[in-house]
Structure 1
Amino acid sequence: MVIDMTKENPTKAILTFAFPILVGNLFQQLYNIVDSVVVGRFIGKNALAAVGSSFMLMNFFSYIIIGLCLGASVVYSHFFGEKNYSSLKKTIFISFSAISIFTAILSILLVVNTRHMLLLIKTPQSILESSQHYLQIIFGGLIFIFLFNACSALLRSIGDSRTPLYFLILAAIINIVLDLVFVIVFNMGVVGVALATIIAQAVSSILCLIYAFIKIPIIRISREDMVFDKNIALMVGKYGFLTSIQQSIMTFGMVCVQGLVNTFGPDTIAAFTAAGKIDSIAYLPVQDFGNAFSTYIAQNKGAKNASRIIEGVKSASRTIIIFCLILSVIIFVSSSNLMRIFVNANEVNVINLGVEYLSVISIFYVLIGFLFMFYGFFRGIGALRVSLILTVISLGTRVIMAYTLSSIPQIAQRGIWWSVPIGWALADSIGFITYRKMKKNELF
């Protein structure tokens, strides 16, 4: 179902559009969690650490591709808001062609250099081989990550957030079944987990691609649309490049933090992996709300409706405050029980470290909620440089504070935990000031 977000009530439009994205990403997180649970419980602590140590590198390069797709989707939304379907189709052709070529080249380079990257982030020798095997399979299947995210971003840009949900559910089911079969039945270890992920991505991405270009007429490309338009290419390049840089900076910061975590040994790595999974699910709704908000802003920017943009910001702020306060209480109270889902109860030190992490982070979820809203707002109005600056401030502060605080013996790894809300708070302050100035000067 395609939603025109230039007409409906802002709160209803954003939430209606965001809900399928949230459910879909919950399923995506579900099969990431199943990976960790299966590995942690059926293979062991070191295997969980191996997957966890690999996860940040996997995310770093995946989000470069996802960023390109998100950037292109802003252009899709603008043309959709203008009802300029001819330019929309040309944009689809140009962006899909360029990003697929880039992904293929990147995939080859990463497979060849996997071990060097793991050594660079100080991966312990005890988990190096497992991490390398896991990542090489994931990197080899990057093209499927591109296909799925490109199709999902396209569909969501025109207001269809339900179709990607169906294919994500399919991917989650396939991944869970194959995880259990490859690890428990065939005893394939972390290689089985990686293969399950790639096979699930491949099936869902190909089916989503077929559906998108056969079933939706306004994005169905003909031979006349397969032309190079310089202005459109420059627009896609600008939005795609800046959004990709933003996404890669976010994950690069996490890679730097992962390198620091790795120096504290397997227990801390396992705790950080498990707690990070819980944390990412906890704030996933506000992340998806921010992405939905970006589409709302982009469509109304294309329709040149500034008053509706301001109304949307007020609505989004209220929603974020209410939801994040509820979420903070739930995670803070249940952190110990949540950690026991990922590791055996006898791993007391791992559980305690994870609870310590979640107890600090969960208090400040409202900060990350507003940060995702600002990301969505500035991306939607085309001010990608501002969104990029906020990312640099947030992640840069986090990395600097993590290394600084953790170097103090009395603080140790607790400094890594506290660096997170410090980065969020600083970025939020800059985002709020910038929004007020743009609103005052009528720059959107």
Structure 2
Amino acid sequence: MSDAERKRDMVNGSMGSSLFLFALPLFFSSLLQMLYNTADLLFVGNFVGKQAAAAVGAGGLLVTCLIGLFTGLSVGAGVAAAQAAGAGKWKRLENILHTAICTAVLGGTAVMLAGLLFSESILRVMHTPASVMEDAVSYIQIYFISMVPMIVYNMAAGILRAYGDSGTPFYILAAGGILNVLTDGLLVAVLHMGVRGAAVATVVSQSFSAVAVLYVLMKGKEKLRLKPGKLKISKEELGKILHLGIPSGIQSVVITLSNIIIQYYINGYGENAVAAFAAYFKLENFLYLPAMAFGQAATTFAGQNAGAEKYKRIRKGISLAALISGGIVAGIACVLMLGRESLFLLFVKDWEVASYGIQIIMITFPFYWLYPIMEVFGGAIRGMGYSVIPMFVILSTLCGARIGLLAFFNDRVQEVKAVAAVYPITWFLAVLAYFFIFYKIVFTFERRCICEHTGENRGLVE
């Protein structure tokens, strides 16, 4: 397949088909990415037991916290790349690529070392139950070996998507996801390595994905090619990536820290509640990761069109993306609620644990259509270069308001329902804030384009 065939044009043609066809591989990529997260718990929960499943769940938030900053930097690299591609600045795009890969290698190494050194201490601060502590530490310390390939893959795949190619990362994730499941089956079910085997399976699959995406970048692109001899950090491009990415990284880290506070409350309800939430978060990925995929599509769409100064197209396209993504996620949520009992028992063969999880689902899933709308508007604002605004919105709603509501409800209800109830409330608050901010930004740019391009109206070109 040629470079032109892989690259989807986001600045011309039908907005609906461009967004949907670009988002479709991201949607399936999200489902395949879920295999990395779900296969471990599925095999551990069925072949080891609920204590091991709780250990995997207890360690997951710590992993997310430490890689959050570099996930944010990959967002910054993607926005910079999308704007360069939309403006046709191919030399700058190449510089962004080489700077991003170098940053990923150095940053991944730092995260790996931090995780190996401090994971046990942080798990103790998180009030992790003593019955799962040993397995949780073992799982995380092996898992952290995968940090370098994981961050390299996310950075490289983000730039490919910003360029307009969402298909190649999907194919790589498909192969990596299959490899992860097969390796989990061998190490956990056959060789009985427990949580250690699950962590090793993740290292193997993530390493494969990183090598594959780097090979594609070195061999397959005409205007976006990775050249090992040119690997160096450009101060100018690093500054742009940091400017766009650090707010997203801070947002990711603080969200995860707020989730650790929530995990503290969950841990206080005992081992069954810990295992239930661990299984719930895996099942939630069927909704969360597709929502994230549409948010990524919105970032690329807005970034490329901002580079081309087509702001009216941004307004119409993002509104359409919000409707499409909200409808799709609402449909998936209905299916999951109908099969909730069978689905939970796939993860944990314990009815008391499953009953906790079903309570959580019936509170959060009816309102999950709000989440993709939040991601689409937030992604579009980032794509236009305003990464600080989404940070403040998310920190004030999904962090500040969520923790405050949790404390309020927990004091009065004393049940896991109190934890679940805070999620849909804070999604609504974030959507409300994003809605007004997005349209204010877009309308401002549309008026500016009319003034600056009198007679051309360049910013209003469809």
Normalised TM-score (structure 1): 0.95
Instruction: Indicate if the aligned counterparts of 1:182 and 1:188 stay in contact, CA closer than 8 A.
Output: yes
1:85-96 to 2 correspondences below 5 Å: 85-96=90-101
Distance 1:228 1:277, change over 3 A: closer
**Matched residue, 1:266:** 271
Instruction: Indicate if the aligned counterparts of 2:15 and 2:317 stay in contact, CA closer than 8 A.
Output: yes
Q: Determine whether 1:404 maps to 2:379.
A: no
Q: Determine whether 1:188 maps to 2:179.
A: no
Deviates more, 1:332-341 or 1:14-23: 332-341
**Matched residue, 1:437:** 440
Residue 230 of structure 1 and its aligned partner are, at CA, apart by 3.9
Unmatched tracts of structure 1, length 5 or more: none
**Matched residue, 2:220:** 215
RMSD: 1.7
Q: Determine whether 1:110 maps to 2:115.
A: yes
Paired amino acid for 2:295: G
Secondary structure of the equivalent of 1:283?
helix
**Matched residue, 2:60:** 55
1:39-438 to 2 correspondences below 5 Å: 39-221=44-226, 229-344=234-349, 347-392=350-395, 393-408=397-412, 410-438=413-441
Taking only the aligned residue pairs, the percentage that are identical comes to: 26
Deviates more, 1:58-67 or 1:203-212: 58-67
Runs of 4+ residues deviating >6 angstroms:
none
Instruction: Indicate if the aligned counterparts of 1:260 and 1:403 stay in contact, CA closer than 8 A.
Output: no
Taking the aligned partners of 1:240 and 1:268, their CA distance within structure 2 comes to 35
**Matched residue, 2:42:** 37
Distance 1:382 1:173, change over 3 A: same
Taking the aligned partners of 2:199 and 2:76, their CA distance within structure 1 comes to 28
Deviates more, 1:218-227 or 1:94-103: 218-227
Secondary structure of the equivalent of 2:9?
coil
Taking the aligned partners of 1:262 and 1:222, their CA distance within structure 2 comes to 48
Instruction: Indicate if the aligned counterparts of 1:111 and 1:139 stay in contact, CA closer than 8 A.
Output: yes
Deviates more, 1:127-136 or 1:244-253: 244-253
Q: Structure 1, residues 163-188: CA drift from partner, whole Å, max 9, x if none?
A: 11111111111111111111122111
Taking the aligned partners of 2:327 and 2:109, their CA distance within structure 1 comes to 43
**Matched residue, 1:24:** 29
Taking the aligned partners of 1:222 and 1:331, their CA distance within structure 2 comes to 45
Residue 440 of structure 1 and its aligned partner are, at CA, apart by 3.8
Taking the aligned partners of 1:302 and 1:208, their CA distance within structure 2 comes to 26
Residue 88 of structure 1 and its aligned partner are, at CA, apart by 0.9
Secondary structure of the equivalent of 1:441?
helix
Taking the aligned partners of 2:256 and 2:22, their CA distance within structure 1 comes to 26
Unmatched tracts of structure 2, length 5 or more: 1-5, 449-462
Secondary structure of the equivalent of 1:407?
helix
Paired amino acid for 1:406: N
Choose the corresponding residue for 1:4, options 2, 9, 25.
Answer: 9
Distance 1:218 1:289, change over 3 A: same
Instruction: Indicate if the aligned counterparts of 2:62 and 2:119 stay in contact, CA closer than 8 A.
Output: no
Taking the aligned partners of 2:292 and 2:40, their CA distance within structure 1 comes to 22
Residue 222 of structure 1 and its aligned partner are, at CA, apart by 5.2
Instruction: Indicate if the aligned counterparts of 1:396 and 1:423 stay in contact, CA closer than 8 A.
Output: no
